[in-house]
């Protein structure tokens, strides 16, 4: 299965666990002896009922969700949620707080403002190029929710701990670190995550929403833009992205049964980050772009002495079997995305390459 595969550090769509890919290959021509591919079975069949119900059940077990939380699968990615969330949850006279920690937070803020909703940007790290996570944020007690981006793929920062909002429910874009660590879900009214970074392939967004937030959804919205539509129909109001949901279910099974849950996954992720940041810190050649207290365990962003060396590094890394190391086009530099499915072995191999590259060009 692993023949001719590279070490995949892509930021999204990103690496999937090998055993998940092997299962997909097995099911691709005939799923569960149905005589049909997983891409061909009906979303109204018992086979798909089992898939989506298992995905919901595993999500609830992994995150410790009670019956007051609903797990939804919606198309459109996190980018649709930037507008869908305020559209559903902020009525006339309501207000919400937003924390701006980079590109995706900025986009979420812009979408809420396009809708004319009352939002307050209560903290921002733009003053230092989004290289840190703001602390000691003064949230508004009357806000319906406080929106954060838990991990910032482009700038390589992450909330190590979620902020104290003094009782205001958190709303979080967790696209790039969902299922990477345990956390207190009771602080959150809604969580959304595009699957393609940490829990599956592109094509579906997981939305976890508390029952009291569902009660805020107005009737006068198009059916496909209402959370209540998905909650009432178990995400089966229309034909959902079946293959993507099936793949997410397999990743959740891998997390639960092979890895052993989120505590264990968090320990593995911490080890990977320590190895990679340690290599960078020991070097006088590589420079991490995120400030030490805010560094992401999912996306390690770094620079080399000049752009020509960065281009050479990315090119030679790919030739050596390390893919996806070019930084986002908006910021340049280099980035290694070390999501759940990227193993410790991959990170150790990368740091060995980095050390050799430094010896050659440093």
State which H helix or E strand residue 188 sits in: strand 188-194
- For residue 338, the tally of other CB atoms under 10 A from its CB is 27
CA distance 65 to 184: 10
Examine the residue annotation and report whether 254 is marked as an active-site residue of this protein. no
As a whole number of angstroms, the distance between CA 240 and CA 300 comes to 33
Count of other CB atoms within 10 angstroms of residue 186: 14
Q: Is 104 annotated as catalytic?
A: yes
For 193, the token pair is: 């995550």
Catalytic residue among 27, 47, 155, 173: 173
226 is catalytic: no
- Integer-rounded Cα Rg, in Å, for the chain is 21
Catalytic residue chosen out of the listed positions 27, 47, 97, 104: 104
Catalytic pick among 47, 155, 177, 197: 197
Euclidean distance between the first and final Cα of the chain, in Å?
37
Q: In this structure, are residues 185 and 3 in contact, taking their beta carbons and an 8 Å threshold?
A: no
Q: Say how many residues make up the chain.
A: 362
> Residues with catalytic annotation?
104, 173, 197
């Amino acid at each position: 299965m692993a023949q001719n595969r590279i070490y995949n550090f892509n930021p999204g769509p990103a690496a999937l666990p090998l055993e998940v890919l092997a299962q997909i290959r097995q099911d691709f021509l005939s799923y569960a002896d149905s005589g049909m591919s997983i891409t061909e079975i009906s979303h109204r069949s018992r086979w798909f009922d089992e898939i989506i119900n298992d995905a919901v059940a595993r999500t609830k077990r992994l995150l410790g969700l009670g019956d007051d939380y609903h797990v939804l699968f919606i198309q459109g990615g996190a980018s649709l949620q930037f507008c869908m969330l305020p559209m559903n949850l902020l009525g006339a006279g309501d207000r919400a707080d937003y924390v701006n920690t980079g590109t995706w937070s900025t986009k979420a803020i812009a979408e809420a403002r396009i809708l004319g909703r009352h939002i307050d940007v209560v903290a921002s790290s733009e003053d230092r190029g989004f290289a840190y996570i703001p602390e000691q944020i003064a949230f508004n007690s009357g806000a319906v929710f406080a929106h954060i981006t838990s991990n910032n793929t482009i700038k390589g920062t992450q909330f190590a701990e979620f902020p104290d909002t003094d009782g205001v429910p958190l709303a979080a874009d967790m696209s790039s670190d969902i299922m990477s660590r345990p956390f207190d879900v009771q602080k959150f009214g809604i969580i959304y995550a595009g699957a393609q970074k940490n829990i599956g392939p592109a094509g579906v967004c997981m939305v976890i929403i508390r029952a009291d937030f569902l009660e805020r959804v107005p009737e006068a919205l198009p059916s496909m833009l209402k959370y209540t539509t998905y909650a009432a129909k178990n995400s089966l109001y229309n034909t959902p992205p079946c293959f993507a949901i099936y793949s997410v279910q397999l990743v959740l099974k891998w997390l639960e049964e092979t890895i052993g849950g989120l505590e264990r996954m968090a320990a593995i992720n911490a080890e990977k980050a320590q190895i990679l940041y340690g290599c960078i810190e020991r070097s006088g050649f590589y420079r991490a772009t995120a400030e030490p207290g805010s560094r992401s365990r999912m996306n390690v962003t770094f620079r080399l002495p000049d752009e020509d060396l960065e281009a050479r590094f990315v090119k030679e890394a790919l030739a050596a079997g390390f893919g996806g190391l070019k930084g986002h086009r908006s910021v340049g530099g280099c980035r290694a995305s070390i999501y759940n499915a990227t193993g410790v072995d991959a990170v150790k191999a990368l740091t060995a390459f980095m050390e050799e590259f430094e010896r050659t060009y440093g």
